[in-house]
Chain A
Amino acid sequence: MDVFLQVLANGVMLGGLFAIVSVGLTLIFGIVKVVNFAHGEFLMVGMYLTYLAVTGLGLHPFAAVILVVPVLFLMGALTQRLLIQPLLAAGDHHIQIFATVGLSTALINLALLVFGADIANTPSSGLRQPVEIGPVRVLLGQVVILGAAIVLVAGLQLFLARTRTGRAIRAVAQNRAAAELMGIDVDRIYALTFGIGAACVGVAAVLIAPLYPTSPNSGTYFVLIAFVVVVLGGLGSIRGAFAGAILIGLIDSVTGFYVGADMREVAVFGVFLAILILRPSGLFGRQLRLSHVSP
């Protein structure tokens, strides 16, 4: 029984990790309607910035938030303004996808150039300390990630539901043309949303860097599952992404222990396909909304 609880705990912790990486992606996906293939590389850049802040400036990893989050926000907003915006006029979403794939490759190779292919270790600063909760044992850093994911999801929900800017963002997502007619500066909202999405992954980077070694490919390790989570939760549904992440984490952990490590991905993607067949719009996604199709 204790082992089963430990397996579940590992699954929830892994789910928290997937959740915090996915939040920003689902926001950008849902509002700007851009599949950001460079999302993992934003994470990687954030992890390197954390590494530099901790080893260079001697900050605690968490204190690096004040540096990493604004930089990532700026990076996201600029990506939207300089790369995606000009392509929106092209009217073909595929071109934006190619652009983000290109950005991803460019960032990986830039990191290779600057940092080399070797791993960079952010000091764990006590976050690898085990915490005993009843019969289970997890790392302090994992608990912090799960907590931060919950706060981030709740915070974004409140922001989107209650604030004026949040309502403007939702309006743009629902009908871009109508929002524009109501006097909303759509371009500004897009840049803002992309920035917030990137800032979210900045938060993830700060929390992940002390637990995982950073390398130019770090982003690719996390991001495939992040895409699964986003689709599973329902495109653009932040709550859905969170639920999807925890579900995927649990499936991964339970299969890994009871079936075998080589079957984990089979199980994860099997469930993913099954849910998509039964609920094409994802766990929390609404049915296809034609209002999304901008003229």
Chain B
Amino acid sequence: MRVLARTLAAALALGAAAVHAPARAADVTFGALFPFSGQLALLGEESARGVEIAVDEVNAAGGVQGRKVVLARGDAVDNNQAIGEARRLISLEKVVAVFGSYSSARSIAASQVAELSGIPYFELGAVAEEVTGRGLQYLYRTNPTAEDMAKLAVEMIVNKVAAGLGKKPEDLKIGIIYEDSSYGTSVANFQKKFAAGAKLNVVTAQGYPASTVDMSSLVLDLKRRGIDVLLQTSYQNDSVLFLQQANEAGFKPGAIIGGGGGYSMQPTADAVGHKVIEGVLDTDFTQYLVNTKYTPGIESFVAAYQKKYGGLPRSGHSLNNYVGAKLILQAIDKAKGFEPDTIIKAVKGIDVADGVTAVGYGFKFGKNNQNERAAMMGMQWQNGKLVTVYPDSAAVAPMEMRK
């Protein structure tokens, strides 16, 4: 038994040595921890592509502190593997910092490992509130959150939708529906909070499991209540299902405002039908049909993406990850050395105004190490395309309301 154990240990040590081919002295390694396989693979991969393009551009401009940036990928297929891969990146790949993670649950799990090792963790795409606010010193988040998504939806109702429907905001009957995992629930809770703050009349708020195969009873209920504006926070399957069943049951509220996920994706529009989704609003990360004066650099990003991956970006995730990663790498470039505290100090100094980067929103880390200038945008499906309609500075088309 002991012999076996010793042989195993030796084999493991050999294996580890073989895997851990030392990076050249001139290189510096960063981790890219995303779900590359499993259910979240599509947008996990999409997010990582943004980071890869940022690294390409930084390397083309001379690298970080004169050293070439190398990305070590970690596949966070589930929460346990996210932890395991974070450990591997830190102890074997010797990364100086980790970029991640698209999924909030993976981010929450993996960032704790990084925190214990004292390695900076930069979250570029996960939206749950709980990612920040856990008192972690080495976790920083660049992207807007669930709270920002809810805030924007309420803002759009008050500033644009109500007038478009010819009613006062407080006279509108608002319905909120959401998939009942932590994502939908947290967005919906913020929607209720902001709606109450704006004195909106929320008539009903109902959760449902994202794996549902039937929403007809919910649709009937919303129809009976005479909902004017419906907010849905959902994934793709339930977005498609709801829009189809609402259409078939003749439920046509003045406005439907979706939250990210399924609502921003072209296959959703194709599945539902362009006629059915026409006029539907959406709150999400910055998308591509946007006023380029507010998002300088977005065109060259799309060009770089097309060149590298041979197709158009599949969602706004790559763009948001790209801008976040690039700003952080540029900030570290100005520092001296790659000690965790040096990196953190450099990143804390980032101060970028709105309308300067390719995502539009600005960057400055505030309370809980969250980017306090991060914001979402409002989009609308018009003629089968998702165009930005809110805020005005980013809009490429006016918001169109059916009365």
Contacts and interface: CB of A to CB of B under 8 A. Distances in A.
Interface in B246-266: 248-249, 265
B42 A262 contact: no
A149 B132 CA distance: 50
A217 interface: yes
A207 to B, nearest CB: 13
B270 A257 contact: no
Interface stretch (B60-68, B235-243, B337-345): B235-243
B236 A6 contact: no
A118 B42 contact: yes
B213 interface: yes
Contact-size category for A: 35 or more
A117 B42 contact: yes
A252 B248 contact: no
Contacts of A7: 217, 220
Interface stretch (A185-193, A220-228, A276-284): A220-228
B237 A213 contact: yes
A130 B224 CA distance: 20
A128 interface: yes
B194 interface: no
A25 to B, nearest CB: 16
Interface residues of B, number: 37
Contacts of A264: 208, 212, 217
A116 B42 contact: yes
B300 interface: no
Nearest to A14: B214
A6 B41 contact: no
B207 A262 contact: yes
Interface string A97-137: 00000000000110010001111010000001010000001
B214 A10 contact: yes
A10 B41 contact: no
A256 B241 contact: no
Interface string A74-85: 000000000000
A242 B240 CA distance: 28
A108 B78 CA distance: 15
A112 B214 contact: no
Contacts of B130: none
Contact of A112 (B37, B265, B268, B271): B37
B133 interface: no
A7 B217 CA distance: 7
A117 B40 CA distance: 7
B360 to A, nearest CB: 26
Nearest to A108: B39
Contact of B271 (A119, A216, A217): A119
29 contacts: A3-B220, A3-B224, A7-B217, A10-B216, A14-B214, A109-B37, A109-B38, A112-B38, A117-B40, A117-B41, A118-B42, A118-B314, A119-B236, A119-B267, A128-B244, A130-B248, A137-B248, A212-B213, A220-B211, A224-B211, A256-B214, A261-B208, A261-B215, A261-B217, A261-B218, A262-B180, A262-B207, A262-B208, A264-B212
Given A221-B212, A262-B207, 5 more contacts: A14-B213, A121-B270, A213-B267, A260-B206, A265-B209
